[in-house]
Structure 1
Amino acid sequence: MHDVEYLSDVGGVMHAVRANPSVDLIISQNDIPGGGSVAIARFVRWEMPAPAKTLPIISLGRDWTPELLLETREAGICEVIAMPTSLMAVQAKLLSAMDGKRPFISTATYRGRCRRRRSSKGYQGPFRRAEDRIAEQLNQAVEKSERRAIRQDQQGERSPPPVPTPGQAAVVQQNAASSAARPRANEVEVEEGGDRQTRAVIDKAFVTTRLIEQLLARLVTTTDSVGQATLNTAVADAEERLINLMALVQMRIEQHGCSAADVERLRIIRKSVDASAESLLRAQLSRLIKSGEDLLSGRAGLSFNMGLAMQARMSYAQFLINLRGGLDMLDGEVKDAVDKAQGIVAQVKEIEAGIMPLPQFETARSSKLPTSERSGPAGR
């Protein structure tokens, strides 16, 4: 820090920020006279134009209550330091506050850095941060437009539109009317958010959800055992396709965002996604437990690398658990099946680890041969 200015109250901070928009960082006591650091944050976030409103703000103090911490976070303050502290802790807070990886969120009720630094371990849900991504895109578009206008004003590039000649007036008026009735492609894209490929994947997921509903309705009215088996296979295939599509949707939303209409459609199919994930999880655990019990009981032989294969199947089951929202979202029966499957996989891997490695096979073979055979050609 090469240039540091010390101020005694909130009013002084407001004046300094207005006079010098190139401020890089604000560090304030939480109880500074004039309203505290919360008042400073609300002024910067809501009254200053871009990019000053995205200033990193740190609040420090001794007396922190849950209510004050909540108010501080809601005001858009990036980091909080509780006194007494250490130099290492202060350094970590400074780096975190000035890190530009967390996007700036601007909504009707909150302005500040994205507070969602963590999520549930391994969570792959299709709706995480979708609304935030849309708000971030709109905010970036507004800031880009403001910066372009400021740059044009500084360079003198913004000049009044030319006055059309009488012969051109009708053409200009007609073009203006048509352009007003038909928004530009860029404006539509900014308003909607996301991109066409994300929308296409969501469309496929929506269609797959309807297909699952139709297959389940047919399954209820089908009494033939062969027909039921065929429909069950078709439902399982459609459910797996839906899960794969939603995993792709999740990746594209995090990269490109999506429109409010797409978010609403995702909410509609969320129930089907949860049901599909749980159905696939039950089937995966059932197959895993059955094959493991066959191995442990001796009904089936232990194939090469079977432990790794079962571990991979258990990893897919864990993916389905995360997609469902974690173990807490499952009922007791499925939780017991998860514990049982994990125990079986551990036992199979333990048995597999105790099998003689390949380099020792020749030694084992020679130890079991008769003495005359081990003595070689001279002893025969």
Structure 2
Amino acid sequence: MEEQTIRVQRCETKKEKPQDDQLVFGKIFTDHMFVMDYSEPLGWHNASIVPYQPLQIEPSAMVFHYAQSVFEGLKAYRTDNGSIELFRPEKNMERLNRSNDRLCIPPIDEEFALKAIKQLVSIDRDWVPHTEGTSLYIRPFIISTETYIGVSAAAHYKFIVILSPVGAYYKEGLNPVKIAVENDYVRTVKGGTGEAKTGGNYAASLKAQEMVAKTGYTQVLWLDGVEKKYIEEVGSMNVFFKINGEVVTPKLNGSILSGITRLSVIELLNHWDVPVIERRISIEELYEAYQNGQLEEAFGSGTAAVISPIGELKWGDKQMIINDGKTGEISKKVYDTITGIQYGHIEDSFNWMQNIETESTVKH
């Protein structure tokens, strides 16, 4: 589309900002938000940054009935030199459009969307917390707003971006979590919406998570939806296993979300000459490796935690204690490197970070 201007309406009264040590995830929101509309034949239009406020939306809006919605999650970091940086945001915009395609939502202009996000973060820059480990979480999302009770792709949408200052994910250090292998419920299947970042995938995961939480486990390890044999994701994160010196992660197959942190982990391991392979891996193979003493590490990867080490896996009546329940060497090195780049402790030799004051470099 022809690039449009972004109208800015600043709030008259600013909210009181919380102290960094009072931050929790996703409970507090900043002064402003970005909104853009879609309609046929206008396309995407009316790009605006406005005060954070409730949406006026009809009860008959199609999003409530047929769940045409997608979202993304990324963060802004305040670095050692005081600048505010985004971590690989162009990858989030690319993935948002892949999700759009799967949900029959019109594509956004990735470069313009990133420009809008940078401008929004710049306006609310005082909300980016200063303490190590904290950040400003950025939630872009698109919903269908057409007023129609009928199963079809909508003709009207809203693209919205909201911001939320969040605390350190690990307040007491990088500690391994306990995970239960899910044998009954499935997250999604190949040919479904697993490779898209859409709310329905997360709604489908809640029941299993609720059940394992009652037994003292943090999350579930998802198996494929057809044979219930091959490992896919852990909770809402991608998953990695170090087996006999080689790092293995499930190959993207149409039901696994292509994580930006996952991609970054793979690129780091390749850079360090650590053997890493994307392939199918069954729970049986993993348990056999554990019995043989070859399962050396396991960890999840995602935007919120970056790395979440797995200290224990429960599969039926079988229990696997990984690396004596301690954080592994690779897990720690990956976590320290990615967060070091994000906060400016380590040189960004991969050119992953983008300053909020610079224009997007995304090419079409």
TM-score of the superposition, structure 2-length normalised?
Answer: 0.24
Determine which structure has more spread, i.e. the larger CA radius of gyration: 1
Higher relative contact order (CA 8 A, sep 6+): 2
TM-score of the superposition, structure 1-length normalised?
Answer: 0.23
Greater share of strand: 2
Greater share of helix: 1
